[in-house]
A and B are shown apart, each in its own frame.
Chain A
Amino acid sequence: MKLYLKVWRQEHRDSKGGMISYEVDGISEHMSFLEMLDLLNERLIQKGERVIEFDHDCREGICGACGMMINGRAHGPLTGTTTCQLHMRSFNDGETVYIEPFRATAFPVLRDLKIDRSAFDHIIQSGGYISASTGQAPESNSIPIAHEVTEAAFDAAACIGCGACVATCKNSSAALFTSAKISHLVLLPQGKLESADRVVSMVNQMDTEGFGHCSNTEACEVECPQEISVLHIGRMNYEYNKALALRK
């Protein structure tokens, strides 16, 4: 099949970017979306042009490196899917496809579709962990945890940190990402002890990084490749208010 691409090209963090058109033919429906870009890049090299830069690594939907806005949707038309797991059978011959980076103040563009997501690292650094140094752990079966509790914690811990939630939110909020971490850790008995300081610190860090407030539109859940629930945001708000109310 043949596609007409409009791709965001930008030289550096501070330079002005724009949409550039490309025609790509010879696409097979079995190709992944990124393999289609590989094909285009191979042809750009042959023409002596700089390739389209994009982040990607595992290409099996788990590392969270890839991510772009495809026809205005984070990770493209499917739900519960990362860009690398999107295949060309989801597109029609002759279609025009718009490809842009995930956009947010807190995610500056480095070049083309590559962005800087270190703001997520900073949020985790502000408290997204359980303080258990190597050597301190008790025997692992000494604290039984109900099956359902572990499963619920897992659902939250499944976040891959791709940033689709931020990119799709009209306020560029990191509420889904942050709340998933808060839920993961507060549900487990090991993580309860630090929960008050954690939630306050992480929520403040979101603001510091330049993410907006939750827009309550639930758009993030729709685009999340791991289908993380917005109910975690509710839990984050509850934990945050509880922490402030009980603060000495």
Chain B
Amino acid sequence: MIDAKIPAGDLADKWNNYKDSSKLINPANRKKLDIIVVGTGLAGSSCAATLAEQGYNVKSFCFQDSARRAHSVAAQGGVNAAKNYKNDGDSVYRMFYDTIKGGDFRSREANVYRLAECSLALIDQAVAQGVPFAREYGGYLNNRSFGGVQVSRTFYARGQTGQQLMIGAYQALMRQVSAGKVKTYTRHEMLDLVLIDGKARGIIARNLETGEIERHVANAVVLATGGYGKVYYLSTLAMGCNSSAIWRAHKKGAFMSGVSWIQFHPTCLPQIGETQSKLTLMSESLRNDGRIWVPKKAGDERVPNDIPEEERDYYLERRYPTFGNLSPRDISSRAAKERIDAGCGVGPMKNAVCLDFSKAIREQGRDKIEEKYGNLFRMYDKINGVDAYKEPMLISPAAHFTMGGLWVDYDLMTTIPGLFALGEANFSDHGANRLGANSLLQSCVDGYFIAPYTIPNYLSGELKAEKVTTDHPAFIDAENNVREQLNRFLNLKGHLSADHFHKTLGKLLYDKCGLSRTRKSLEEAIVEIRSLKKSFDHELKITGDEGVNSELEKAGRVSDFLELGELMCHDALQREESCGAHFREEYQTPDGEAVRNDKDFCYVSAWEWKGEAVEPELHKEPLVFETVKLTVRSYK
């Protein structure tokens, strides 16, 4: 059985107990230890910078041309913290409870409590770095509400909270580069993990400019490589987002958890054509003032503004009167899909719902709405050529955030000693559904406040470990495997592009392992994905050489997505309940609400790789609730 190593003590004392008893390393010895951090988003940059401040030698890798471009920049709405600045009843415990409940009771109490606890220090840290959070006229920090909660605990910087936090973390990282404690490797992609004596001791990376394959050795490896929602091709993610680092670590022995728990964001721009590459996210904060509706009548061909008030169905306000338009994401997305499937969708492909600001503009005035969401309205106009001050936005659910990822213990260490996973790359804090504005929080908290305690705790045992160099046979083997795969891609004589396979896989997953799933759809998907993988292995066509070659980069990523997609289906198939974002149609109430099964499924599924097209092996980590009582999650 796998052990999460939760510290002893009352819930509120666990993290302090851990910090009080974790092992330390004296400053002189820190200089002797090297740490590789892959990924430079909020989790990666903050972790690399903080470890460097402590005195460790850090190598930081990213595939982008600058650390600042990691996809954390795209988070718009905000970051949660239990500061209770609004004096509206917030507290660490309440934030913990909202998050556990929001995750449909499928996350660890201890991890979630720590997340809420560390949220306080994060806001302090970000403000000290110069993050320009919104302020009231008196000069104090402002807050707004996000889905799934009844207090205002979301700090924000217009619609660019992720970008501004990212700039803070990036600048902290650049400061350490200039101090000589961090060396950055931009335009580098990790292609394998190197294990020596069962421990993570380095990576193989490809220089994306020169094509050179490089070996890098360290005493610990941190993966902060983000989520894999791009497996669906059409998603809110950046084009380069991928699962390759975590997937290759998985194939080296790190378990994966919650793999099929993917959040579909309810407020994205709908698909309008076949050549589309992206479903742009419109911040959830819009739901503070926008009302969501569809025509009451199926197949209504009128444009939204021509549909009179009494013929509109404000279905979230109708079904969930307490939370209304601020219902959590999984529930809002499913409710949208339900109406779209019922034929009430709007827009040219009938695949969208209306997000209407007319009431808010009438009550607050256009200026106020413009101040709050101006950049989002501008973005909407740019993409669609439509003025959303005058007619409703058309929105639709899209693949967004992966609650799943590498299994980690309380130390954020994977099942491979010395391999840590931070931020969206791990599975830990959000259970089966993430609440809005908890993603920025988790990546920052993992990187600034947790890993800088837990990694030294591990490294203290490594000071006396045998020195290894990149000449070790494990490095040579790993490098050879990487070269072999790249050569195979370049020499395939097929006729289909990597994008073709990616789009086919994405559509298949949307249909069969998307917002809702059934046993039948998942079993079909597994067969189809295996056959798609076979076709990929023979019919792929890559042009160009081993230098700068975006097609070669895509090929490796799509190959990994195909294997990961299959695991997602196994995970969704095995879990015969509905919880959070995982909605199995067989398990629902007559009025369409999810039915969780705590008797049989109150555990974390941790999957072990057993080989290509072989059933993965399931390990279970029971979820023990000492503080909260498991209840039916209701927002009605």
Say whether B541 contacts A60, CB under 8 Å. no
Shortest Cβ distance from B445 into chain A, in angstroms? 11
Q: Is A126 an interface residue (CB 8 A)?
A: yes
In the bound complex, what is the Cα–Cα distance between A116 and B171 (angstroms)? 19
In the bound complex, what is the Cα–Cα distance between A134 and B55 (angstroms)? 13
Shortest Cβ distance from B388 into chain A, in angstroms? 16
Q: Is B461 an interface residue (CB 8 A)?
A: no
Chain B: CB-nearest residue to A27: B275
Of B64, B127, B177, most buried by chain A (CB within 10 Å of CB) is: B127
In the bound complex, what is the Cα–Cα distance between A154 and B276 (angstroms)? 32
In the bound complex, what is the Cα–Cα distance between A132 and B541 (angstroms)? 49
Contacts of A131 in B (CB 8 A): 175
Number of interface residues of B (CB under 8 A): 82
Say whether A138 contacts B124, CB under 8 Å. yes
Q: Is A129 an interface residue (CB 8 A)?
A: yes
B-contacting residues, A152-174, CB 8 Å: 153-154, 157-158, 160-161
A-contacting residues, B535-562, CB 8 Å: 541-545, 547-551
Say whether B550 contacts A63, CB under 8 Å. no
For A136, give its contact among B73, B128, B378, B385 (CB under 8 Å): B128
Q: Which of A91-99, A139-147, A208-216, A237-245 contacts B (4 or more CB under 8 A)?
A: A139-147
Report if A58-B71 is in contact (Cβ < 8 Å); known contacts: A114-B548, A137-B121. yes
Q: Is B133 an interface residue (CB 8 A)?
A: yes
In the bound complex, what is the Cα–Cα distance between A130 and B134 (angstroms)? 19
Contacts of A21 in B (CB 8 A): none
Chain A: CB-nearest residue to B158: A154
In the bound complex, what is the Cα–Cα distance between A41 and B550 (angstroms)? 11
Say whether B547 contacts A116, CB under 8 Å. no
Q: Which of B21-29, B159-167, B302-310 contacts A (4 or more CB under 8 A)?
A: B159-167
Report if A161-B163 is in contact (Cβ < 8 Å); known contacts: A39-B275, A147-B137. no
Q: Is A14 an interface residue (CB 8 A)?
A: no
Q: Is A74 an interface residue (CB 8 A)?
A: no
In the bound complex, what is the Cα–Cα distance between A159 and B328 (angstroms)? 32
Contacts of B128 in A (CB 8 A): 130, 132, 136-138, 140, 190
Chain B: CB-nearest residue to A201: B178
Say whether B141 contacts A141, CB under 8 Å. yes
In the bound complex, what is the Cα–Cα distance between A185 and B174 (angstroms)? 15
For B452, give its contact among A11, A55, A127, A134 (CB under 8 Å): A134
Report if A124-B171 is in contact (Cβ < 8 Å); known contacts: A31-B275, A116-B65. yes
Say whether B141 contacts A38, CB under 8 Å. no
Chain B: CB-nearest residue to A146: B139
Say whether A154 contacts B157, CB under 8 Å. yes
For A60, give its contact among B140, B272, B281 (CB under 8 Å): B281
Contacts of A81 in B (CB 8 A): 382
Contacts of A31 in B (CB 8 A): 273, 275-276
Contacts of B135 in A (CB 8 A): 144-147, 150
Say whether B273 contacts A132, CB under 8 Å. no
In the bound complex, what is the Cα–Cα distance between A141 and B86 (angstroms)? 12
Of B53, B130, B174, B495, most buried by chain A (CB within 10 Å of CB) is: B130
Say whether A57 contacts B171, CB under 8 Å. no
Contacts of A89 in B (CB 8 A): 385
Report if A50-B543 is in contact (Cβ < 8 Å); known contacts: A121-B184, A134-B449, A188-B132. yes
Say whether A63 contacts B65, CB under 8 Å. no
Of B132, B160, B277, B495, most buried by chain A (CB within 10 Å of CB) is: B132
For B130, give its contact among A11, A60, A125, A184 (CB under 8 Å): A184
In the bound complex, what is the Cα–Cα distance between A139 and B551 (angstroms)? 48
Shortest Cβ distance from B386 into chain A, in angstroms? 12
Of B127, B128, B542, most buried by chain A (CB within 10 Å of CB) is: B128
Say whether B499 contacts A128, CB under 8 Å. no
Q: Is B125 an interface residue (CB 8 A)?
A: yes
Chain A: CB-nearest residue to B178: A125
Q: Is B342 an interface residue (CB 8 A)?
A: no
Q: Is B170 an interface residue (CB 8 A)?
A: yes
Q: Is B197 an interface residue (CB 8 A)?
A: no
Contacts of A120 in B (CB 8 A): 66
Chain B: CB-nearest residue to A133: B53
Chain B: CB-nearest residue to A29: B385
Shortest Cβ distance from A53 into chain B, in angstroms? 5
In the bound complex, what is the Cα–Cα distance between A28 and B64 (angstroms)? 29
Q: Is A59 an interface residue (CB 8 A)?
A: yes
Contacts of A50 in B (CB 8 A): 543-545, 549
Q: Is B145 an interface residue (CB 8 A)?
A: no
Contacts of A133 in B (CB 8 A): 50, 53, 172
A-contacting residues, B103-123, CB 8 Å: 121, 123
Shortest Cβ distance from B6 into chain A, in angstroms? 24
Shortest Cβ distance from B39 into chain A, in angstroms? 14
In the bound complex, what is the Cα–Cα distance between A131 and B548 (angstroms)? 36
In the bound complex, what is the Cα–Cα distance between A28 and B273 (angstroms)? 9
Q: Is B239 an interface residue (CB 8 A)?
A: yes
Chain A: CB-nearest residue to B497: A45
Q: Is B396 an interface residue (CB 8 A)?
A: no
Q: Is A236 an interface residue (CB 8 A)?
A: no
Contacts of A32 in B (CB 8 A): 277-278, 383
Shortest Cβ distance from B87 into chain A, in angstroms? 12
Contacts of B140 in A (CB 8 A): 141, 144
Of A28, A118, A147, most buried by chain B (CB within 10 Å of CB) is: A147
Contacts of A65 in B (CB 8 A): 64-65, 69
Chain B: CB-nearest residue to A114: B548
Say whether B171 contacts A129, CB under 8 Å. yes
Q: Is A73 an interface residue (CB 8 A)?
A: no
For B238, give its contact among A53, A63, A78, A126 (CB under 8 Å): A63
Q: Is A6 an interface residue (CB 8 A)?
A: no
Q: Is B531 an interface residue (CB 8 A)?
A: no
For A157, give its contact among B125, B164, B277 (CB under 8 Å): B164
Q: Is A111 an interface residue (CB 8 A)?
A: yes
Report if A57-B278 is in contact (Cβ < 8 Å); known contacts: A30-B273, A87-B383. no
Say whether A137 contacts B548, CB under 8 Å. no
Q: Is B357 an interface residue (CB 8 A)?
A: no
Say whether B132 contacts A154, CB under 8 Å. yes
In the bound complex, what is the Cα–Cα distance between A73 and B141 (angstroms)? 39
Contacts of B611 in A (CB 8 A): none
0/1 string, A37-75, CB within 8 A of B gives 1: 011001011101111010111111111110000000000
Q: Is B196 an interface residue (CB 8 A)?
A: no
0/1 string, B255-286, CB within 8 A of A gives 1: 00000000000000000110111101100000
Contacts of B277 in A (CB 8 A): 32, 34-35, 38, 59
In the bound complex, what is the Cα–Cα distance between A125 and B68 (angstroms)? 12
Contacts of B164 in A (CB 8 A): 154, 157
Of B172, B452, B548, B549, most buried by chain A (CB within 10 Å of CB) is: B548
For A85, give its contact among B83, B137, B172, B383 (CB under 8 Å): B383
Contacts of B130 in A (CB 8 A): 130, 153, 157, 184-185, 188, 190-191
Contacts of B378 in A (CB 8 A): 80
Say whether B66 contacts A128, CB under 8 Å. no
Shortest Cβ distance from B120 into chain A, in angstroms? 9
Report if A157-B167 is in contact (Cβ < 8 Å); known contacts: A132-B128, A144-B139. yes
In the bound complex, what is the Cα–Cα distance between A57 and B71 (angstroms)? 8
Given contacts A56-B239, A57-B240, 19 further A-B contacts (CB under 8 A): A32-B383, A39-B275, A48-B541, A50-B543, A51-B544, A58-B71, A58-B74, A78-B382, A116-B209, A121-B186, A127-B178, A133-B50, A139-B124, A140-B124, A141-B83, A146-B139, A154-B158, A161-B69, A184-B130
Can you show 5 pairs from A to B with CB atoms below 8 A apart?
A35-B276, A51-B550, A81-B382, A124-B174, A140-B124
Give me the 8 closest cross-chain CB pairs, A-B, nearest first: A144-B139, A129-B171, A137-B128, A132-B128, A137-B124, A111-B548, A154-B132, A50-B544
